[in-house]
């Protein structure tokens, strides 16, 4: 058996039964300046699961995950067609405020980006912005505990966040995202800038957090997807030679065990067995 | 050893020495007469005396009225330049589209290129009558007109330096804040401005330094009354106005009145020099953090 | 959580966001509106008084026949002197700092800091410098040369800083290529680097000179006399356009105010032409590396 297959086999759970749908994506297309970067994606994200997006670089997985909290709105040339329903509500409806969306759906980025403030102020930033001024101390402590960082920083909450190591900073960013009690956390390659030990800690964190939250992650590391994800979506690049365009497409979306042991599409099989990618 | 090269290097270095000679010249030109001045007038009297009347009998050499005049004008200048300069900078850095910014930023610089004598003309012939029209009892020469106009003139200075500092803040920090559900106001004020604070303060200090050193606008619009009067609607005299007025006249070389030019000049130079050093250090600090 | 969270429709503080943005736009407008009012005011008072006599007649106590001819001539002479004196020294200093100086040495770092400080010294201090050394010290008297020399010192830091930027922008591949062919350092500078940096140097210098022309304070001390009626020469007493404006504004008669406004128009047109020229040079000759 390959590395990945042994990783999948080592997982404790049995194939997951169906859960409530959090995100319902239908025919989603994202274009930058008119050129489609990601085309006609449809899938459902289930509650209390870890869903991973994998695929070669340039296949649009980062673009896709940023649609869920409307971060693509910050890029002027980006336009989104199609629908994403969040518990049945259209995320891109005309009267929906992106700021409100991001209060319910949190995000952790590839490179840790703590604010140049104290550890406490970083975690407290979200609640303060939401106007939740009472019980800040408790919120901060709870968020840091959930991110498995409390014991390491409880005596130096007033120190600058930049004095932490890379792995600690990323866990701080996770705590920061957790402090507002979102229902969903999006993670865009959260461990790719970290050392292996920090990576393992974050993967363990994901297993714990999914009890209360829904987690969606982008990763270029297949072993990681095999270790943490319940459901996996494989994206690939469709090359349009005539117009010199590369567009991302969803190839296959299924339970992780299935994707890595008996993939339905040949492209998926080629990718997960390392024939290309 | 190529002698031609050595010669060239020597010539160029000599030219570079001109700047050193300038600084030395300034220091010597100020210090020598100033020292003589302070032999005749005790430093304590100079720094704490509240009457400035060098040509009277008996003469008084307390520099406080001139300092108060300078500070009064500078205060109003800062009340205009700092908030509006920072506001313009936030707009350019966080709200404007790149193409708009590339048009607006140079346009603002035009304001900075207008000669100060033109601003002085404006302060005297338009701003003061305007202040009177809206009901303020302003004298013909007053600190407020000069201060307001200096403030507007310094908006580009504050805006430019602050905008540089804010542009240097990495986009990742903004993304992080947006990801937490902040709106643009919160991102600008709670994340970007605090992160750029060294550069912003540097711009403030630079503006103060320029306001203190400004001559023509105060000469034309603020007056020549060395009094300790914080009322902006009255005439005052700043250090620079005094130097300019006295230096123009036929004050005999070597007299005590002649030396007052240098004593006040030295005070001015030291004050702006210290502020400039602080400003340069602050700019270096924010550059180190982000580059 | 068993109840699905709903997305809020209204953002916190919508009103405060709008007010904030309005304040920011207002901040931008303050400068531009003031500039507009200033220009309108100057044009309103100055255009009627703008006539050829401004250029041909000397000043006089009778506003009907007063002109700014000596001032205009002196300003142009001063500008030429500045270009001849300040640019070579400034470029030479910049070349020394960028190409020859060992940045580790303390005296070179001191040189750099020194120039930065000089750029921020109030202009009137340069006037004091000129007064002490040139007018009284060297006994030159209140002559145009003295005025030009202290203006040179005033504008030197600006030219140095601008020239350094231009020289720094030339990619090192040019230097390396020249040296690899066996050229001496100076040959590379003279034949390759300077020609490449000239647009940047020219732009910066012209902008610096145009700022210097508007600086009045040092000249007040050096003694620009405002009542000369003959054409000034380099060696003699002098005046300058900003000084003329300054003097006219202070006179009580309203006609002199209008004359001042007219002279301001001339000054602004002169500066505008210089700046446009500088920008034209930059756009025309700027090579994109």
Condensed to tens digits (0 to 9), the pLDDT of residues B188-243 reads 999 999 999 988 999 999 999 999 999 999 999 998 888 888 898 999 999 999 99
Do the Cβ atoms of A96 and C9 come within 8 Å?
yes
Please determine, for residue C6, whether its predicted confidence score (pLDDT) is greater than 80: no
- Asked if A255 and A231 touch (Cβ cutoff 8 Å), the reply is yes
CA distance A168 to C213: 58
Task: Tell which CATH architecture fits domain A3-112+183-272.
Answer: 3-Layer(aba) Sandwich (3.40)
Q: What is the pLDDT of residue A46?
A: 92
Q: What is the pLDDT of residue C191?
A: 82
pLDDT tens digit sequence for B109-150: 888 889 999 999 999 999 999 999 998 888 889 999 999 999
Contacts of B117 in chain C (CB under 8 A): 214, 216, 242, 245-246
Q: What is the pLDDT of residue A45?
A: 93
Do the Cβ atoms of B176 and A115 come within 8 Å?
yes
pLDDT, greater one: C149 or A3: C149
Which DSSP string corresponds to C113-153?
A: HHHHHHHHS-HHHHHHHIIIIIIIIS---S-HHHHHHHHHH
pLDDT tens digit sequence for B152-192: 999 999 999 899 899 989 999 999 999 998 999 999 999 99
Q: Identify the band that residue C10 occupies on the pLDDT scale cut at 50, 70 and 90.
A: low
Angle, helices B197-213 vs B239-248, to 10°: value is 30
Compute CA distances A167 → A141, A144, A200, B95, C208, whole Å.
Answer: 19, 14, 10, 33, 51
Q: What is the pLDDT of residue B92?
A: 93
In three-state secondary structure terms, C275 is helix
Of A69, A115, A130, the CB nearest to B191: A115
Do the Cβ atoms of C4 and A96 come within 8 Å?
no
Q: How far is A99 from chain C (nearest CA, A)?
A: 7
Q: Which two tokens stand for residue B169?
A: 């803040």
β-pair partners for A248: A38, A237
Class level of CATH domain C53-285: mainly alpha
Tell me phi and psi for residue C53, to 5 degrees.
Answer: -60, -25
Interface of B with C in 67-126 (CB under 8 A): 80, 83-88, 90-92, 95, 104, 107-108, 110-111, 113-122, 124-126
β-pair partners for A118: A160
Contacts of A116 in chain B (CB under 8 A): 173, 194-195, 289
Please determine, for residue C289, whether its predicted confidence score (pLDDT) is greater than 50: no
Interface of B with C in 38-77 (CB under 8 A): none
Of the listed ranges A166-175, B163-172, C53-62, the least confidently predicted one is C53-62
Q: What is the pLDDT of residue A30?
A: 93
A70 and B CB contact within 8 Å: no
Count of residues making up chain C: 289
Top residue of A48, A68, A87, A130 to mutate, by most chain C CBs within 10 Å, is: A87
Do the Cβ atoms of B107 and C32 come within 8 Å?
yes
Q: What is the pLDDT of residue C2?
A: 39
Longest Cα–Cα distance of chain A, Å, equals: 61
A132, closest residue in chain C (CA to CA): C12
In three-state secondary structure terms, B225 is coil
Domain ranges of chain A: 3-112+183-272
Q: How far is A233 from chain C (nearest CA, A)?
A: 24
Q: Identify the band that residue A54 occupies on the pLDDT scale cut at 50, 70 and 90.
A: very high
Contacts of B12 in chain C (CB under 8 A): 92-93, 95-96, 100
Of B181, B191, B195, the CB nearest to A102: B181
Do the Cβ atoms of B216 and C246 come within 8 Å?
yes
CA dihedral B75, B76, B81, B82 (to 10 degrees): 50
What is the mean predicted confidence (pLDDT) over A77-83? 91
Please determine, for residue C60, whether its predicted confidence score (pLDDT) is greater than 80: no
Q: What is the pLDDT of residue C58?
A: 73
A173, closest residue in chain B (CA to CA): B176
Do the Cβ atoms of A101 and C4 come within 8 Å?
no
Q: Where do we find the tokens 């072993």?
A: A223
């Amino acid at each position: 058996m390959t590395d990945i297959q042994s990783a999948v086999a080592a997982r404790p759970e049995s194939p997951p039964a169906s859960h409530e749908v959090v995100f319902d994506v239908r025919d989603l297309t994202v274009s930058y300046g008119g050129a489609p970067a990601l085309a006609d994606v449809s899938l459902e994200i289930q509650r209390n699961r870890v869903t991973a997006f994998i695929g070669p670089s340039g296949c649009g997985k980062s673009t896709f995950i940023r649609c869920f909290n409307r971060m693509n709105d910050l890029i002027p040339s980006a336009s989104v067609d199609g629908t994403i329903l969040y518990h049945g509500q259209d995320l891109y409806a005309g009267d929906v405020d992106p700021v409100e969306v991001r209060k319910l759906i949190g995000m952790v980025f590839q490179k840790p980006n703590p604010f140049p403030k104290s550890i406490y102020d970083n975690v407290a930033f979200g609640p303060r912005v939401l106007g939740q001024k009472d019980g800040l101390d408790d919120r901060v402590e709870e968020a840091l505990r959930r991110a498995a960082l409390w014991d390491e920083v409880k005596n130096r909450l007033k120190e600058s966040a930049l004095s932490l190591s890379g792995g600690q900073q990323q866990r701080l960013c996770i705590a920061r995202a957790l402090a507002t009690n979102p229902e969903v956390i999006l993670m865009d390659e959260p461990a790719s800038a970290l050392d292996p030990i920090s990576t393992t800690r974050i993967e363990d964190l994901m297993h714990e957090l999914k009890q209360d939250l829904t987690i969606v992650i982008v990763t270029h590391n297949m072993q990681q997807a095999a270790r943490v994800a319940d459901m996996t979506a494989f994206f690939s690049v469709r090359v349009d030679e005539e117009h010199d365009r590369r567009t991302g497409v969803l190839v296959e979306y299924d339970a992780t065990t299935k994707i890595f042991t008996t993939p339905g599409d040949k492209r998926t099989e080629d990718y997960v067995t390392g024939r290309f990618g | 050893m190529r002698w031609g090269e050595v010669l060239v290097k020597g010539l160029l270095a000599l030219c570079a020495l001109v700047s050193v000679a300038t600084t030395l010249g300034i220091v010597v030109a100020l210090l020598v007469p100033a020292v003589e001045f302070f032999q005749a007038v005790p430093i304590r009297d100079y720094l704490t005396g509240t009457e400035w009347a060098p040509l009277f009998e008996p003469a008084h050499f307390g520099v406080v009225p001139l300092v108060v005049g300078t500070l009064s004008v500078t205060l109003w200048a800062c009340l205009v330049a700092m908030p509006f300069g920072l506001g313009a900078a936030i707009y350019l850095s966080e709200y404007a589209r790149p193409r708009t910014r590339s048009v607006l930023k140079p346009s603002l610089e035009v304001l900075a290129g207008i000669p100060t004598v033109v601003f002085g003309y404006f302060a005297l012939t338009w701003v003061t009558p305007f202040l009177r029209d809206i009901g303020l009892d302003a004298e013909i020469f007053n600190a407020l007109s000069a201060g307001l106009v200096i403030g507007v003139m310094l908006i580009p200075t504050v805006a430019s330096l602050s905008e540089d500092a804010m542009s240097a803040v990495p986009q990742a920090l903004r993304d992080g804040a947006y990801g937490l559900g902040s709106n643009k106001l919160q991102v600008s004020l709670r994340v970007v401005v605090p992160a750029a604070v060294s550069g912003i303060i540097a711009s403030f200090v630079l503006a103060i330094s320029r306001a203190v050193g400004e001559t023509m606008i105060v000469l034309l619009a603020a007056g020549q009354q060395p009094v300790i009067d914080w009322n902006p609607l009255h005439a005052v005299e700043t250090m620079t106005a005094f130097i300019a007025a006295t230096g123009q006249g036929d004050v005999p070389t070597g007299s005590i009145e002649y030396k007052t030019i240098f004593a006040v000049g030295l005070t001015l130079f030291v004050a702006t020099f210290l502020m400039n050093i602080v400003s340069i250090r602050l700019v270096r600090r924010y550059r180190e953090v982000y580059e | 959580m068993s109840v699905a969270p709903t997305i809020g429709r209204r953002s916190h503080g919508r009103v405060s966001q709008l007010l904030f943005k309005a304040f920011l736009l207002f901040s931008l407008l303050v400068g531009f509106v003031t500039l507009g009012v200033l220009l309108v005011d100057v044009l309103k008072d100055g255009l009627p008084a703008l006539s050829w006599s401004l250029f041909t007649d000397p000043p006089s106590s009778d506003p009907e026949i007063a002109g700014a001819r000596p001032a205009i001539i002196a300003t142009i002479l001063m500008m030429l002197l500045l270009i001849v004196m300040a640019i070579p020294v400034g470029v030479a200093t910049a070349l020394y700092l960028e190409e020859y100086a060992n940045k580790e040495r303390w005296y070179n770092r001191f040189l750099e800091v020194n120039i930065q400080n000089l750029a921020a010294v109030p202009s009137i201090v340069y006037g004091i410098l000129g007064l002490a050394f040139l007018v009284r010290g060297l006994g030159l008297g209140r002559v145009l040369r003295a005025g030009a020399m202290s203006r040179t010192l005033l504008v030197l830091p600006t030219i140095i800083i601008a020239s350094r930027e231009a020289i720094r922008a030339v990619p090192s591949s040019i230097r390396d290529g020249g040296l690899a062919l066996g050229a001496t350092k100076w040959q590379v500078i003279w034949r390759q680097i300077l020609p490449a940096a000239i647009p940047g140097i020219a732009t910066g210098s012209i902008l610096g000179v145009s700022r210097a022309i508007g600086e009045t304070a040092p000249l007040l001390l050096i003694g620009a006399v405002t009542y000369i009626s003959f054409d000034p020469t380099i060696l003699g007493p002098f005046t300058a356009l900003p000084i003329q404006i300054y003097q006219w504004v202070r006179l009580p008669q309203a006609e002199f105010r209008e004359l001042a406004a007219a002279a301001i128009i001339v000054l602004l047109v002169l500066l505008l032409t210089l700046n446009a020229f500088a920008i034209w040079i930059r756009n025309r000759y700027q090579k994109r590396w």
